[in-house]
Amino acid sequence: MTVLPRPLAEQLRLRVTGRRTVRTATGNIEIDRSAAILQIDGKSELNPIVISDTLDRTLVGVVTLETLELAVDPTTGKLTEGETLLLPLYKERARP
C-alpha cells in the first residue's frame, strides 16, 4: 500500500477510515488508514493508503504498483509496465 505524510493527507482532505497496526524499524505502531484514487503514468485506481505521522515523504508500495499494472525495474529504478498474474494457489481436484 502507499504511505502519505499526514500534512499531505490533510491537504488532500483524505478521510480516515480506520486504524491499522504496522511494523516499522523501531517496532509496531498504530496508524490511520484511508483510501484514494492514485494516478501514476496516466493510470489511476482506488488504493489503500496509510497516513504517517513520522515519515516526511510519500512511499508508493507494491500493492499500489500492482493495482496500476506497474513495476520497478531493479536495474534502473524506473517504472515499467507490469503484468497481472492470475495463478491458482492449488491444483483443482478432478470432479467425479
Give the predicted TM-score (pTM) of the model.
0.78
CATH of residue 43: 2.40.70.10
pLDDT of 85 reads 77
pLDDT of 93 over the 70 cut: no
What is the band of 95 on the pLDDT scale with cuts at 50, 70, 90?
low
Q: Could you tell me where the beta strands, DSSP code E, fall in the chain?
A: 2-5, 18-24, 27-40, 43-52, 70-72, 79-81
Q: Is residue 7 part of a domain?
A: yes
**Domain enclosing residue 27, as ranges:** 2-81
Average model confidence (pLDDT) across the chain: 91
Q: Is residue 87 part of a domain?
A: no
Q: What is the mean pLDDT of residues 50-75?
A: 93
Task: Give the number of domains in the chain.
Answer: 1
3-state helix, strand, coil in the chain (%, to 5): 10, 45, 45
